[in-house]
Amino acid sequence: MNKTRTTLTAYAMLLPALVLLGVFTLYPVLYNVVLSFSKYTALELGAGKGPSWVGLENYQKVFSDPLYQTGIVNSLKYLVVVPILQIFSLLVAVLVNRSLPAIAFFRAGYYIPVITSISLAAVMWEWVYAKDGMINAALQGLGVLSKTSAFGWLINENTALWAIMFVTFWQGFGYYMVLYLAGLQSIPTELDEAARLDGATKTQVFWKITVPLMKPTLMICSLLSTLAALRVLQEIMVFTGGGPVNSTYTALFYVYSKAFKEFDYGQGAAAGMGVALIGFLLSYVNYRLTRDQQVTG
């Protein structure tokens, strides 16, 4: 009787969260799947009509669209920022995981970009990347660029995507640094001390003890970072709008354009399913790597 009451109490406490999860997560996902197989535009919406079934027509149009293919390629290019971001965040976490004077100030300072709004960051970085901005001035001062060869980093098709990726790196490393710092502080200090007594160097302790014990945190952070890179949208909207020459046109920006500029909700849903499929595949790979690590451990 007591066990039954405990079980019912547990389900009752979970019920509000499950209802919210169903309404705001599960239902939109299922509706998006249905919408991706339907014709539903602003015309049907204005006429008071619902979605009408068209089968795979939306998928055929979206996947054969060169602009969507360009978006997929650019989104995959954006994943380059993931390993760089994770390695840098881990190294900074190791540096600030020490008892030094004013170390809390440095930890807070690294986190400031995380809480900086993308609009404010855009104002700052547009000035940095401008022809008369900080980067060109520094390169001209070092003699790398001449006075006449300065160019706008955000309006050049060869540099625009990489320039936006650096903003993502700048704004994200403080967040992952905090996660890695929490992981580092969960490692028992006795392991480090025992290794030192056995004659291990700092480098050996890092690679043989710290990194293996941090692998679950590395996997979670890598997954979060990968999905964030696939979902990049705000940066594209505020910096370039997909230009120049579609060099920063990502897959999710295509989804946004289809659904909220062209008001073709069916094709927008189909394009979103493509992005979701890529995210699912990457999540599965991460799960298998994490699972193998747990089994091995």
Q: Is residue 18 part of a domain?
A: no
This prediction has a pTM of: 0.86
The answer as to whether 286 is a domain residue is: yes
In a domain? residue 274:
yes
CATH of the domain at 69: 1.10.3720.10
| pLDDT tens for the 297 residues of the chain, in order | 678 888 889 889 999 999 999 999 999 999 999 999 999 998 888 888 888 999 999 999 999 999 999 999 999 999 999 999 999 999 999 888 887 777 788 888 888 999 988 888 999 999 999 988 888 888 888 888 877 777 788 998 999 999 999 999 999 989 999 999 999 998 888 888 888 888 888 888 888 888 888 888 888 898 999 999 998 999 999 999 988 999 999 999 999 999 999 999 999 999 999 999 999 998 888 777 766 555 454
Which residue's entry shows tokens 């993931």? 82
Task: Report yes or no on 49 lying in a domain.
Answer: yes
Q: Is residue 76 part of a domain?
A: yes
Q: Is residue 134 part of a domain?
A: no
In the structure encoding, which two tokens stand for residue 182, read together? 């929490």
Structural domains of the chain, count: 1
DSSP string for residues in 19-48: HHHIIIIIHHHHHHHHHHTEE-BHHHHHTT
**By residue range, what is the domain housing residue 260?**
38-103+173-292
Residue 159 lies in a domain: no
Question: For every residue of 84-106, which 3-state class applies, written as one string?
Answer: HHHHHHHHHHHHHCCCCCCHHHH
Q: With respect to residue 111, please indicate whether it lies within any of the assigned structural domains.
A: no
